[in-house]
């Protein structure tokens, strides 16, 4: 599912009008018809309610005027409240305003010199409100009468239905610009806006539907936009059922460098994640004094005891043994629970520079290269880094606040600079590729906020790499599956209490939805 910024959507609109010759008024009509149909599905008795369209002065208002005409033609009682003088309207918005005036739809123009509460009574009597105040072009903080109306709309107990985007929500950041409507449903036009799916966007948009307004596929293809929301419709195009003749030797061999004293759980979870997602073979590299523990904890995973530090962590003395073992293998996952000792960090760097197979780098392995991230450019194989915001801040030598201020830009910039696929974990995990592709995950829930969740993700991505998926797709499918498995267990049930081991058994069901074409 394509995701765009406000400026990208404006570009697609303009090119459709200019290159395809489709007038803007047609695009606006398509938007209004699609939104009206969606709102009728969302509120089945909408035509029996008093509908108030609250409009601003731009094209968003024009969409609202067109919807007022549509609902009026279906017999619904409709009125329009303009927060700005109609004299400010122009273009297609003015055309649609002129139409509703001619056909007799009641229009009230807000007068800021008069009492607010008296004028607000008209909106209060509504059975539903169409929010057509501010659109995706908003860039400044909402002030004055617009802000006061938005805040009052949020106190209503009736459905508030937003046109394209909840008024006041930044279409590119997902943050309110001072104040934003909390909609019960949003009809977003053309393509999904970034602001609808990150930060507070999902909370404020409510139920969401993308309305096809008639932008030709060729216009989209020529735009070169390559940012997606991860969803079954997209991912099912990337994954198919295995051939009946597949055996473990053809399903990929994952090697795992994980675990130290007190951190054998991390090694377990990475190994189980790789196996559960379908890797044919998994071998764990474990400090020799801990091997007996892992022999008991893991049944399907093979272990390779390796030299260790005095603190029972992987030692750089193991480097030649491991590089030799990695020949002919399909993926290496390293980092969770290996410690941050200098000896172990030296091992990480030797494996990064010498591994013959793609590597997933997480946790302590990210810390190991944080002093000199330029080493990432020297790797001879594809790399996938999976930092949480704290690890991302450490390797970027900045604060967590700097990273969180614009997660998409942080991930994209790092990915391009160092030539790695970057998985920035957190709410709406971001996956960035050096070639500019970017994806936002749609799955996951607050119950995942617990130790070990990132370890399972590391194993899942490595398991997909080993099966032949390219690094970007392996990361995208991995983060989606990881969150979706947790959603099957806990979404709508509880916001806490989920263990990392709980979700492993749900992975095959999520894979089945994708590979069996239920979403295709």
Q: What is the pLDDT of residue 324?
A: 98
Three-state secondary structure of 222-268: HHCCCEEECCHHHHCCCCCCCCCCCCHHHCCEEEEECCCCCCHHHHH
Helix, coil or strand: residue 313: coil
Phi, psi of 268 (to 5 degrees): -65, -45
Q: What is the pLDDT of residue 215?
A: 96
Q: Could you give the CA distance from residue 443 to residue 230 in angstroms, rounded to a whole number?
A: 8
| Residue whose entry in the numeric block shows the structure tokens 């979706």 | 484
Phi, psi of 375 (to 5 degrees): -60, -25
Distances (CA, A) of 35 to 209, 294, 475: 8, 56, 34
Q: What is the pLDDT of residue 520?
A: 42
Report the DSSP pairing between strands 430-432 and 421-424: antiparallel
Q: What is the pLDDT of residue 519?
A: 46
Phi, psi of 121 (to 5 degrees): -55, -35
Bridge partners for 186 per DSSP: 162, 208
Residues with Cβ within 8 Å of residue 498, at least 6 apart in sequence: 447, 448, 450, 486, 489, 490
Nearest one of 170, 194, 152, 235 to 411, comparing CA atoms: 194
Q: What is the pLDDT of residues 391-409, one digit of tens each?
A: 999 999 999 999 998 999 9
Cα-based angle 189, 78, 123 (whole degrees, multiple of 5): 90
Three-state secondary structure of 78-124: EEEEECCCHHHCCHHHHHHHHHHHHCCCCEEECCCCCCHHHHHHHHH
Cβ atoms of 392 and 361 closer than 8 Å: no
Cβ atoms of 69 and 100 closer than 8 Å: yes
Strand order across the beta sheet in which 331-334 lies: 227-229, 438-440, 430-432, 421-424, 383-385, 359-361, 331-334, 253-257, 281-287, 302-306
Q: What domains lie within the chain, and their CATH numbers? A: 3-224 (3.40.50.10260), 235-239+247-515 (3.40.1190.20)
Could you tell me what percentage of the chain is helix, strand and coil, using 3-state DSSP and rounding each to the nearest 5? 45, 15, 40
Helix, coil or strand: residue 172: coil
244-277: b or e for each residue (b if 16 or more CB lie within 10 Å)? eeeeeeebbbbbbbbbbbebbbbbbbbbbbbbbb
Task: Write out the chain's pLDDT in tens, 520 residues.
Answer: 899 999 999 999 999 999 999 999 999 999 999 999 999 999 999 999 999 999 999 999 999 999 999 999 999 999 999 999 999 999 999 999 999 999 999 999 999 999 999 999 999 999 999 999 999 999 999 999 999 999 999 999 999 999 999 999 999 889 999 999 999 999 999 999 999 999 999 999 999 999 999 999 999 999 989 999 999 999 999 999 999 999 999 999 999 999 999 999 999 999 999 999 999 999 999 999 999 999 999 999 999 999 999 999 999 999 999 999 999 999 999 999 999 999 999 999 999 999 999 999 999 999 999 999 999 999 999 999 999 999 999 999 999 999 998 999 999 999 999 999 999 999 999 999 999 999 999 999 999 999 999 999 999 999 999 999 999 999 999 999 999 999 999 877 889 999 999 999 999 999 999 998 654 4
Q: What is the pLDDT of residue 516?
A: 82
Cβ atoms of 12 and 31 closer than 8 Å: no
Crossing angle of the two packed helices 471-490 and 453-466, in degrees rounded to 10: 140
Helix, coil or strand: residue 310: coil
Q: Could you give the CA distance from residue 301 to residue 268 in angstroms, rounded to a whole number?
A: 9
Nearest one of 84, 100, 86, 82 to 32, comparing CA atoms: 100
DSSP state of 190: S
Crossing angle of the two packed helices 91-102 and 59-73, in degrees rounded to 10: 30
DSSP E strands, 268-352 = 281-287, 302-306, 331-334
Q: What is the pLDDT of residue 491?
A: 79
Q: Could you give the CA distance from residue 156 to residue 150 in angstroms, rounded to a whole number?
A: 10
Nearest one of 403, 510, 388 to 449, comparing CA atoms: 388
DSSP E strands, 288-358 = 302-306, 331-334
Round the CA-based radius of gyration of the chain to a whole number and report it.
27
Q: Could you give the CA distance from residue 144 to residue 72 in angstroms, rounded to a whole number?
A: 30
DSSP state of 294: H
């Amino acid at each position: 599912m394509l995701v765009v910024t406000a400026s990208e959507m404006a570009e697609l609109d303009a090119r459709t009008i200019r290159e395809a010759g489709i007038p803007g008024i047609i695009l606006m009509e398509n938007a209004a018809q699609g939104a009206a149909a969606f709102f009728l599905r969302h509120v089945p008795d909408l035509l029996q309610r008093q509908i108030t369209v609250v409009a601003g002065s731009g094209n968003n208002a024009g969409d609202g005027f067109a919807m007022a005409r549509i609902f009026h033609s279906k017999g619904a009682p409709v009125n329009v409240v303009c927060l700005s003088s109609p004299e400010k309207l122009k273009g297609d918005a003015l055309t649609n305003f002129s139409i509703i005036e001619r056909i007799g739809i009641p229009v009230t123009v807000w007068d800021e010199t008069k009492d607010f509460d008296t004028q607000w009574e008209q909106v209060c009597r509504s059975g539903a409100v169409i929010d057509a105040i501010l659109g995706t072009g908003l860039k400044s903080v909402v002030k004055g009468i617009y802000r006061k109306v938005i805040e009052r709309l949020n106190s209503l107990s009736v459905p508030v239905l937003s046109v394209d985007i909840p008024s006041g929500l930044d279409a590119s950041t997902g943050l309110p610009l001072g104040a934003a409507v909390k909609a019960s449903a949003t009809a977003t036009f053309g393509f999904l806006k970034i602001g609808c799916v990150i930060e507070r966007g999902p909370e404020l948009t409510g139920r969401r539907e993308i309305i096809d307004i008639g932008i030709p596929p060729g216009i989209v293809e020529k735009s070169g936009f390559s940012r997606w929301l991860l969803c079954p419709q997209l991912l099912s195009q990337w994954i198919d059922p295995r051939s009946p003749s597949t055996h473990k030797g053809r399903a990929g061999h994952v090697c795992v460098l994980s675990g130290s004293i007190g951190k054998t759980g991390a090694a377990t979870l990475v190994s189980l994640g790789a196996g559960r997602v379908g890797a044919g073979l998994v071998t764990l590299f474990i400090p020799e004094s801990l091997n007996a523990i892992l022999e008991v904890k893991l049944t399907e995973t093979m272990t390779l005891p390796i030299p260790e530090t005095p603190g029972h962590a992987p030692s750089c003395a193991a480097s030649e043994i491991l590089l030799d073992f990695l020949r002919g293998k399909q993926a290496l996952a390293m980092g969770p629970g290996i410690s941050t000792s200098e000896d172990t960090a030296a091992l990480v760097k030797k494996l990064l520079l010498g591994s013959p197979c793609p590597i997933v780098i997480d946790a302590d392995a990210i810390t190991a290269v944080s002093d000199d991230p330029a080493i990432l450019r020297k790797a001879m194989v594809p790399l996938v880094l999976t930092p949480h915001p704290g690890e991302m801040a450490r390797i970027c030598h900045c604060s967590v606040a700097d990273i969180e201020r614009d997660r998409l830009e942080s991930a994209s910039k790092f990915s391009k600079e160092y030539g790695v696929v970057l998985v920035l974990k957190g709410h709406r995990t971001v996956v960035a590729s050096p070639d500019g592709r970017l994806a936002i995950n749609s799955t996951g829930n607050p119950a995942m906020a617990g130790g070990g969740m990132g370890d399972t993700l590391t194993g899942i991505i490595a398991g997909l790499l080993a099966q032949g998926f390219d690094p970007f797709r392996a990361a995208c499918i991995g983060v989606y599956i990881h969150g979706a498995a947790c959603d099957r267990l806990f979404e709508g049930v509880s916001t806490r209490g989920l263990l990392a081991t709980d979700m492993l058994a749900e992975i095959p069901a999520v894979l089945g939805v994708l590979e069996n074409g239920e979403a295709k």
